């Protein structure tokens, strides 16, 4: 068995969970936020049989789209008389960041 942890855009999370449930995969959705952009995203965790991992990856790929987001960089610490012109920075936020980990033991009690 594997634990799949998928960090996805908040706007994709609902559709993704529904698509997983349609295929009878059990999933847990947690609210999270990115360390870099500090914007909310969603973390979906699922325990899946080894043979189902590829199908789950396919569902994630189909339902999560990458987006460009604009970040305003933090101004540096300035010396008197220095001038900083902040230029917005574009970053591409991936469709999903996915980790697949082995599960040592799984029980539903």
Under the rule (CB under 6 A), what is the footprint of ligand 2BA? Answer: 7, 34-37, 41, 91-94, 97
- DSSP letter for 79, please: P
Nearer to ligand 2BA by Cβ, of 70 and 78: the residue is 70
Q: What are phi and psi of 57, to 5 degrees?
A: -60, -40
Nearer to ligand 2BA by Cβ, of 76 and 81: the residue is 76
Nearer to ligand 2BA by Cβ, of 2 and 9: the residue is 9
Question: Is the CB of residue 70 less than 8 Å from the CB of residue 86?
Answer: no
Rg (CA), the chain: 18
User: Would you say how long the chain is, in residues?
Assistant: 109
CB of 28 to ligand 2BA, least distance (A): 17
């Amino acid at each position: 068995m594997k634990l799949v942890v998928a960090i996805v855009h908040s706007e994709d999370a609902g559709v993704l969970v529904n698509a997983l449930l349609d295929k009878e995969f059990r999933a847990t959705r947690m609210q999270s936020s990115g360390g870099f952009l500090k914007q909310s995203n969603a973390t979906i965790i699922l325990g899946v049989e080894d043979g189902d991992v590829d199908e789950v990856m396919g569902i994630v790929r189909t339902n999560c789209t990458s987006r460009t987001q604009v970040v305003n960089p933090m101004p540096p610490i300035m010396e008197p008389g220095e001038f900083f012109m902040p230029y917005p920075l574009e970053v591409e936020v991936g469709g999903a960041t996915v980790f697949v980990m082995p599960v040592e033991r799984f029980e539903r009690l």
